[in-house]
Amino acid sequence: MAKQTAFEFYTALENQFPKVKQLYLLKDIDLDEDGFENCGIMTKLAKQLTQFVQDGECEEAIQFMNAVENAFEIAESTVTNYLYTDFLVTIMEQKKEPKEYLKSIMGLKTKEHYQNLFAFYRELDN
């Protein structure tokens, strides 16, 4: 079975979340396997997820986090690598209140990867 590509992952998020579509993630970019664009996209996605929490859109945040958890199971390594190195690291850098909520809604794989990051990073205490 073919794994979900980065383009398919981003497109699915845009289709599910109108606010993600408004970020124009896929405009004029090259999503080749080594494309640095994925770094910026994952950072924007993590910030949008944090914004859902700050705006009180908790159901959106839960659905978004479920999509991330699912991606760790079904997506290509390009997606999972950038989720691990850029998306989750951006979560670590967020303010305490939304970050703690996001950690509470992480699935098992997402939480495992987040915990593994403590070998290289630390959470900001802001």
Q: Please tell me the predicted confidence (pLDDT) of residue 25.
A: 81
Which stretches in the chain have pLDDT values below 70? 30-35
Estimate to the nearest angstrom the gap between the alpha carbon of 39 and the chain centroid: 10
Q: Is the dihedral of CA 68, 46, 93, 102 positive or negative?
A: negative
Residue 3: HSE in the Cβ half-sphere, 13 Å Cα cutoff: 13
> What pTM was computed for the model?
0.92
pLDDT of residue 113: 97
Which residue in 63, 101, 106, 62 sits closest to 84, CA to CA?
106
pLDDT of residue 34: 59
Distance CA 78, CA 83 (A): 9
Tokens of 74: 């079904």
Contacts of 89 (CB under 8 A, 6+ apart): 117, 121
Among all chains, which residue has been given the structure tokens 């997506």? 75
Of the candidates 74, 81, 52, the one whose C-alpha atom is nearest the C-alpha of residue 65 is: 52
Pair 13, 45: CB distance under 8 Å: yes
Across the strands, what pairs with 75?
4
